[in-house]
């Protein structure tokens, strides 16, 4: 862990997880993509994800949010763009199969163990995600996590994507806690950075040994798996 426990507030009482990239492996869809487009599966998975996130920022910051679309629609748009960019033949059947796979992304193996440990310690748990409610409902149930989450929060209710402060404000609103009493966990460095700026206690899960953002702020802690969140809540 990067920072001493003295920096943590005594009343840290909840954990909110980002969903896509943190609980669910957004690049696992590349396995199916590789079957469809041999030699291009990984490239498609990466470009698809990058364009999906770019679109969330575009619709949030342009014209006061007038061009907002749900995350599912932006995910489809990102897939179509990525296939055109890579000159891949995205037939309607292939598109439907890839989108269906996105609904059922592989969950990281430690998810259930970590959530169970948090619940055993009396910690409020939840998701705070760009995903729209139906996407999250299917993903959570598919991963068998629905009984382990107190809150599943979608930015769809505010029609603004992370990193907009109104998106992060959903956590304190739902839990009744101050942001400093909540640990926000993300594998996406941009998300961990913005959540730190917002005021959350933050854990960046650096699964891929990447550098953090160079904007002068670090997350409260950095780890390699979701298990590192348990360090915020020592077992009694």
Query: What are the catalytic residues?
Result: 18
Output the six-digit token pair for 16.
């909110």
Distance CA 120, CA 178 (A): 22
Is residue 236 classed as helix, strand or coil in its secondary structure?
coil
| Main-chain dihedrals φ then ψ at residue 213, nearest 5 degrees | -60, 145
Q: In whole angstroms, what is the distance from residue 169 CA to residue 162 CA?
A: 10
Residue 127, classed as helix, strand or coil, is strand
Q: What are phi and psi of 120, to 5 degrees?
A: -65, -25
Q: Is 178 exposed, middle or buried (0-12, 13-18, 19+ CB in 10 A)?
A: middle
CB burial of 9-21 (b: ≥16 within 10 Å; e: otherwise) equals eeebbbbbbbbbb
């Amino acid at each position: 862990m990067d920072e001493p426990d003295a920096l943590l507030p005594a009343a840290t009482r909840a954990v909110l997880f980002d969903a896509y990239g943190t609980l669910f492996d957004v690049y696992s869809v590349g396995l199916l993509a590789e079957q469809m487009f041999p030699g291009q599966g990984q490239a498609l998975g990466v470009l698809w994800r990058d364009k999906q996130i770019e679109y969330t920022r575009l619709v949030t910051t342009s014209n006061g949010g007038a061009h907002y679309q749900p995350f599912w629609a932006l995910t489809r748009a990102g897939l179509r763009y990525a296939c055109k960019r890579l000159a891949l033949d995205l037939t309607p059947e292939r598109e439907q199969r890839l989108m269906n796979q996105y609904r059922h992304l592989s969950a990281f193996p430690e998810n259930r163990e970590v959530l169970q440990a948090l619940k055993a310690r009396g910690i409020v748990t939840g998701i705070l995600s760009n995903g729209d409610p139906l996407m999250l409902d299917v993903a959570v149930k598919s991963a068998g996590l629905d009984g382990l989450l107190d809150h599943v929060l979608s930015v769809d209710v505010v029609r603004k994507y992370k990193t907009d402060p109104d998106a992060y404000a959903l956590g304190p609103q739902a839990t009744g806690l101050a942001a400093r009493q909540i640990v926000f966990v993300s594998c996406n460095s941009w998300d961990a950075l913005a959540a730190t700026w917002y005021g959350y206690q933050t854990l960046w899960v650096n699964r891929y040994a990447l550098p953090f953002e160079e904007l002068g702020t670090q997350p409260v802690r950095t780890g390699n798996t979701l298990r590192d969140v348990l360090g915020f809540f020592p077992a009694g």
